[in-house]
Amino acid sequence: MGSNTEKVIRFSEVPVFVVKKELKDTDFKDVVYATDFSEESIPAFKNMLKTLDVFNAKKHILYVNLPNENFKTSPEMDAIAHEFLMKAEGNTDRLINVNFVCERSIEKGILNFSNAVGADLITTATHGRTGLSHIFSGSISEDLSNHAALPIMTFKI
C-alpha cells in the first residue's frame, strides 16, 4: 500500500487491481466507473467494459460535479454524457446507468456514491502523470487506492 501502490498505478500500462483487504468473493455485482467524460478517457472506458465483461456486473457510470469554475448544470451534464457514449459506443444505451453527484471533492463523491449503491468495486481512468503535473494535479486514482475500503481497478488513459 502507499507509495509503492501509487507508483504502480502511475506507471502501469495495463489495468491495476488494488485490494486492501482479503476478498471473500470476486463476483462483482455493482461496479462504479468514475469518469470526467473526456474524449481522451474513451479508450480507458472501453478497456474497463471489456475487462469487466466477464462479471456481468451492473456498471454505474459516475460523474462528480464540483462547486467551482467547472460546475455544470443538469442539461450540460446530460449533454456531455450523451456525447461521450455516442463517441465511445455509437449509441446511448448506457445512459440509464449514468449518475451525477455533487460533492466538494471528486474522491468524496466517488466514495459516497459507491457506498450508497452498495458497490463492490470502484474503477477509474488514470493519466499516470509524473513530475510537476503530478504535483499540481495529483491523482484521484492514487487517492482512492489509499482511502477506499473497496477494491480499486485503474485503467491508463
Q: What is the pLDDT of residue 128?
A: 54
Please write the tens of the pLDDT for every residue from 25-68.
Answer: 788 999 999 999 999 999 999 999 999 988 889 999 999 999 98
Residue ranges of the domains in the chain?
A: 3-18+27-156
DSSP 8-class letter at 120: S
Handedness of CA 147, 143, 4, 154 (dihedral sign): positive
Comparison of pLDDT for 78 and 69, the residue scoring more: 78
Q: What is the pLDDT of residue 155?
A: 87
Class of domain 3-18+27-156 as given by CATH? alpha beta
130: helix, strand or coil: coil
Q: What is the pLDDT of residue 98?
A: 97
Entry pTM: 0.87
Please state the rounded mean pLDDT for residues 84-108.
96
The Cα 47–Cα 13 span in angstroms is 12
| 87 contacts 118 by C-beta, under 8 angstroms | no
User: Which three cell numbers, joined as nine digits, stand for 140?
Assistant: 484521484
Please state the rounded mean pLDDT for residues 92-106.
95
User: Which three cell numbers, joined as nine digits, stand for 147?
Assistant: 482511502
Q: Which residue has the cell 449509441?
A: 91
| 120 contacts 30 by C-beta, under 8 angstroms | yes
Please write the tens of the pLDDT for every residue from 102-140.
Answer: 999 999 999 999 999 999 999 998 865 444 333 334 467
Q: What is the pLDDT of residue 134?
A: 35
Q: What is the pLDDT of residue 136?
A: 36
